[in-house]
Amino acid sequence: MTVKFRQLKQSDYSEFRRMCHALYREDPVDETITERKISKTVTELRKNPCKGRIIIFEEDDATIGYSILIPYWSNEYGGDILHIDELYVKPEHRQRGAAACFFQYISRKFKGTIVGLELEVTPSNAKAMAYYRKLGFKKTRNAHLKRKGSRLGKQLQNRLRKS
């Protein structure tokens, strides 16, 4: 399988949108995906490429998948971690090496610039979990906790003042 990888272009937007919705239908998480969230993500990453990038997977000029990559600095690991926020390959292209090609691409593209990769897997997605473990990913000791909300900054400031 020969897969090419490139950054999202404006002409990819409709297909990217469809793939995002397909991912969230197949592997539901706590948050639902909306057109507004997809649009905000694309706009933010175009405006601020240092925050991340959207990579399109192509085989024979056909779009077969995508990934959203978000880098961040880790004090714990002493360097940049590349967070694979989303990784999706269309069902008819799975089990043919697209994901393996993607991880090889990441290895070449970010060689010497990152100290690690990170991704999330829905615990019930046993196939994905087994595949990532085969690639050397391990479950971390720490649990990831999240808090969300549009007034988060103000709420957090108030709680910190009270403590």
- Alpha-carbon distance of 67 to 20, in angstroms, equals 10
Q: Which domain holds residue 54?
A: 4-162
Q: Kindly report whether the global pTM for this prediction surpasses the value 0.85.
A: yes
pLDDT of residue 74: 96
Q: What percent of the chain has pLDDT over 70?
A: 90
pLDDT of residue 124: 87
**Does 95 have pLDDT greater than 70?**
yes
- Alpha-carbon distance of 91 to 154, in angstroms, equals 43
pLDDT, one tens digit per residue, over 21-63 is: 999 999 888 888 999 999 999 999 999 999 999 999 999 999 9
Which residues neighbour 93 within 8 Å (Cβ) at sequence distance 6 or greater? 59, 64, 65
Q: What's the pLDDT band for 7 if we cut at 50, 70, 90?
A: very high
Q: Provide the domain count of the chain.
A: 1
**Does 145 have pLDDT greater than 70?**
yes
Give me the CATH number covering residue 60: 3.40.630.30
**Does 68 have pLDDT greater than 80?**
yes
